[in-house]
Chains A and B, each alone.
Chain A
Amino acid sequence: MSDVAKSSGGAAPGYALRTGLGPQALAGLALVALPVGLLVTLTLWPTVRMVGATFSVDGHLSAERYFAFFNDVYTMANLRYTLEMGLVSAIAALAVSFGIALYLRFSAGRIATMIHGLSLFPLFVPSIIISYALVRFLGPNGLFQLMLEQVGFTQYRTPYLTPVGPFLAFVWENLPLPVLVLSAGLSQVSDHAVEAARDLGAKSPRILWEILLPQMRRSLLIAFALIFMGIIGAFTVPYMLGPPAPEMMSVFMQRTLGNLQDPASAQVQAVVLMVISSIVGGFYIATMVKSSAGAR
């Protein structure tokens, strides 16, 4: 990729002629040269170096650190918790946003516009604000508990500092993106298909299952991949709302690096999380490629 950056930045017309690149293509390459160059020097290169470093123990090539990672009960509990949290929160966020997107697809008017606006609202609220708000709202003797007590319910146990705390924050925080993606996907489902099915006597669940869902598969996969990757890398929400143990990987990583001053272990944790993210990211890219190929 650095070659691309060089040739485009270096303006070598002979080279361009020989490969049949016109001035327009060159200009295009020049435009991407800067971001690609930044990506290579600031992200890819340090990543490659770091991954290399995790396999080097006292100058020898060794997977010792990875054995240590996968054999440590505490670390594995953290990894499992992170993946479960990502999976459960992402599915819940998808379910809720699919409901909102469906409603928006088949309704119009002031209320629909309001709901649309509300569902996008979390996009503009930073995680730290969500976290503080949830502490005040759902925390012990918070507003929610006081409201429940007003109606006579006194058995409330706060989700603050338990896994339910970050779960709720993640679902709320991750509504806007899938609402946008799924709304776009649903708008491509033609009214004719839905009406035709209805004319043939199909009930709503069957329309959902046989008309909408099959056409929404790609949008759902894309939305899932984006949310899941965001959640397993999230720091602020689990740091502020989550239980002390198990820890989500980002919090664990920060503690390993900052408090235990053990960068070698923190790097291994980062690589494992990165590999998981790239598998999910791979699905995302494959889905995108497939859909753009389909569009052609």
Chain B
Amino acid sequence: MLSRRQFLATSAAAATLVSTRVSAEDIKTLQVFIDGDTNISDWWNNILKPAFEAANPGRTFNVTITRGVADGNGTIAERALAALQAKADPQVDYFEEIEPESVAGSVEAGLWLETSEANVPNLKMINPAAVQTPIRLPYRGSQVLIAYDSAKVANPPKTFADLVAWAKANPGRFTYGRPDKGGSGSNFVIRAIHEGNGKDPSLFTKDNFEPAKAEEMLQKGWAILKDLHPFTFGEGTYPAGNSPALQLLAQGAVDMIPAWSDMALQAINNGTLPETVKVVQLQDLALCGGFAYSAIPSNATDLEGALALANFMLSPETQTSCVRDIGGFPGISWDNLPADLKAEYIDVIPVSIPTFPSGDWQKAKNDGWYKNVATNIVRD
């Protein structure tokens, strides 16, 4: 015979089982697709998911990682587009990051839901610099910064000229990654090109590439970088990517590198970089950066839930977590975030976020760097 205690315990367990089963049927699960790095998918799964469930009872989301599979989220968007045309279930409610315009025909077909303050109230706090089109939902950003070891560098550079002067005074203690192997080196090279062209990013647009003119403009950047070349680590051995550059800094082989804000801040937080490493943004003209844009397919089965998720992503709490946990920049203006957070990151808050056009300009920049800066071949 069961004792009273056993009976109570058993029936309680049975009741729990029943109740979870019932509520599991009630919970609506959103399908979120992520093709970003592990830091992003981990953040969504481990930190955002419980927070979202707490803030939105009866809702949860399931993260599917498409990193490295075919064209990542682009492929899922193509499937959603086909589903739109076939009036079928797209099996996706939310794209963590995607460039809607790059999915051929999707914008014309009306695949993407337009967002505004009317359906995502928190958009009223958005950083104006991040806003592009109504189908692109900016929510986090990153920018290239100068990371340095404060134990070795007393006065971090405030301008590009300062940085060059420091590198020359400390031969072999500065380096940057090869521009085609990662954004940190790439955006440093772009910053040098900006420096050589009157610090005016607006001179470079997607449609104004013209080989002869471009060559002339890029040469001004190459002159600066060639001048810097013999003073970099190993006299011009440039590491092959974002992580190899950070590794040189971590090993104490160099004291200063350009680095992505999120990678550097996260590496400092988890101890991969020594605590003495600090980051700073150049004040005369910042290094390039950009925002990550989410998008919601208009044929999502749970549009209401997707919009709730969008609003949750732009809440000050989530945005604070974006800064604290993944070292990202907030999508909403800093004024909407806690004052102490702003004070802590004052050195890296960008005054502006310059950009550089993709396509021909990028190719000319990368190939030009190899042929003019990285080599010691005499060009005729």
Selected contact of A140 from candidates B238, B253, B371, B377, CB within 8 Å: B253
Asked if A135 is an interface residue, CB under 8 A from chain B, the answer is yes
Asked if A55 is an interface residue, CB under 8 A from chain B, the answer is no
Check A245 against B370 for contact (C-beta < 8 Å): yes
Selected contact of A259 from candidates B180, B237, B239, B240, CB within 8 Å: B180
Residue ID in chain A nearest B180 by CB atoms: A259
The stretch from A104-112, A120-128, A217-225, A236-244 touching chain B is A236-244
- Write out, one digit per residue, whether chain B residues 231-246 have a CB within 8 A of any chain A CB (1) or not (0): 0011011111000100
Give residues of chain B (325-380) contacting chain A, Cβ–Cβ below 8 Å. 363, 366-367, 370-371, 374-377, 379-380
Check B375 against A142 for contact (C-beta < 8 Å): no
CB of A240, distance to nearest CB on chain B (Å): 6
Chain B neighbourhood of A185, CB < 8 A: none
Check A141 against B363 for contact (C-beta < 8 Å): no
Selected contact of A74 from candidates B237, B253, B377, CB within 8 Å: B377
Main SS of the interface on chain A?
loop
Check A244 against B374 for contact (C-beta < 8 Å): yes
Check A244 against B253 for contact (C-beta < 8 Å): no
Give residues of chain B (195-234) contacting chain A, Cβ–Cβ below 8 Å. 233-234
Chain A neighbourhood of B377, CB < 8 A: 73-74, 77, 245
The CA-CA distance from A256 to B251 in the complex, in Å, is 32
CB of A248, distance to nearest CB on chain B (Å): 12
Chain A neighbourhood of B374, CB < 8 A: 244-245
Q: A74-B370, A259-B363 are in contact. Are A244 and B178 (CB under 8 A)?
A: yes
The CA-CA distance from A77 to B379 in the complex, in Å, is 12
Chain A neighbourhood of B244, CB < 8 A: 135, 240
CB of A229, distance to nearest CB on chain B (Å): 24
The CA-CA distance from A262 to B6 in the complex, in Å, is 74
Residue ID in chain B nearest A140 by CB atoms: B253
Chain B neighbourhood of A162, CB < 8 A: 234, 237
Query: Size range of the interface on A?
Result: 20 to 34
Chain B neighbourhood of A158, CB < 8 A: 234, 253
Check B363 against A260 for contact (C-beta < 8 Å): yes
Give residues of chain A (126-157) contacting chain B, Cβ–Cβ below 8 Å. 135, 139-142, 157
Asked if B247 is an interface residue, CB under 8 A from chain A, the answer is yes
**Which residues from chain B sit less than 8 Å from chain A, CB to CB?**
178, 180, 233-234, 236-240, 244, 247-248, 251-253, 363, 366-367, 370-371, 374-377, 379-380
Check B236 against A140 for contact (C-beta < 8 Å): no
Chain B neighbourhood of A240, CB < 8 A: 240, 244
**25 A-B contacts (beta carbon < 8 Å):** A73-B380, A74-B371, A74-B375, A77-B375, A140-B233, A140-B248, A140-B251, A158-B234, A160-B234, A161-B234, A161-B238, A161-B240, A162-B234, A240-B240, A240-B244, A243-B237, A244-B370, A245-B376, A246-B375, A247-B370, A255-B366, A255-B370, A259-B180, A259-B363, A261-B363
The CA-CA distance from A283 to B252 in the complex, in Å, is 48
Check A260 against B366 for contact (C-beta < 8 Å): yes
9 tightest Cβ-Cβ pairs between the two chains A and B? A140-B253, A161-B237, A245-B374, A245-B375, A244-B374, A259-B180, A244-B238, A141-B251, A260-B363
CB of A161, distance to nearest CB on chain B (Å): 4
Main SS of the interface on chain B?
loop
Chain B neighbourhood of A140, CB < 8 A: 233, 248, 251-253
CB of B248, distance to nearest CB on chain A (Å): 7
Chain B neighbourhood of A73, CB < 8 A: 377, 379-380
The CA-CA distance from A155 to B233 in the complex, in Å, is 15
Q: A162-B237, A244-B237, A246-B375 are in contact. Are A141 and B366 (CB under 8 A)?
A: no
Check A135 against B370 for contact (C-beta < 8 Å): no
Check A139 against B251 for contact (C-beta < 8 Å): yes
Check B375 against A161 for contact (C-beta < 8 Å): no
Residue ID in chain B nearest A238 by CB atoms: B240
CB of B76, distance to nearest CB on chain A (Å): 22
Chain A neighbourhood of B248, CB < 8 A: 140
The CA-CA distance from A245 to B240 in the complex, in Å, is 11
Chain B neighbourhood of A77, CB < 8 A: 375, 377
Chain B neighbourhood of A142, CB < 8 A: 251
The CA-CA distance from A74 to B244 in the complex, in Å, is 25
Give residues of chain A (55-111) contacting chain B, Cβ–Cβ below 8 Å. 73-74, 77
**A-B contact sample (6 more), CB < 8 A, given A245-B375, A255-B366, A260-B367:** A77-B375, A139-B251, A141-B251, A157-B234, A245-B377, A259-B180
Q: A158-B234, A244-B237 are in contact. Are A141 and B253 (CB under 8 A)?
A: yes
Chain A neighbourhood of B236, CB < 8 A: 244
Residue ID in chain B nearest A256 by CB atoms: B367
The CA-CA distance from A135 to B251 in the complex, in Å, is 11
Chain B neighbourhood of A135, CB < 8 A: 244, 247
CB of A274, distance to nearest CB on chain B (Å): 23
Residue ID in chain A nearest B379 by CB atoms: A73
The CA-CA distance from A240 to B178 in the complex, in Å, is 12
Chain A neighbourhood of B238, CB < 8 A: 161, 244
The CA-CA distance from A73 to B237 in the complex, in Å, is 20
CB of A77, distance to nearest CB on chain B (Å): 6
The CA-CA distance from A235 to B180 in the complex, in Å, is 16
Q: Which of B236, B238, B251 has the most CB of A within 10 A?
A: B251
Residue ID in chain B nearest A251 by CB atoms: B240
CB of B380, distance to nearest CB on chain A (Å): 8
Chain A neighbourhood of B233, CB < 8 A: 140
The CA-CA distance from A173 to B30 in the complex, in Å, is 48
The CA-CA distance from A244 to B367 in the complex, in Å, is 12
Selected contact of B239 from candidates A74, A161, A247, CB within 8 Å: A161
CB of A144, distance to nearest CB on chain B (Å): 13
Check A141 against B375 for contact (C-beta < 8 Å): no
Chain A neighbourhood of B376, CB < 8 A: 245
The CA-CA distance from A77 to B236 in the complex, in Å, is 17
The CA-CA distance from A255 to B362 in the complex, in Å, is 13
Q: Which of A240, A244, A245 has the most CB of B within 10 A?
A: A244
Chain A neighbourhood of B366, CB < 8 A: 255, 259-260
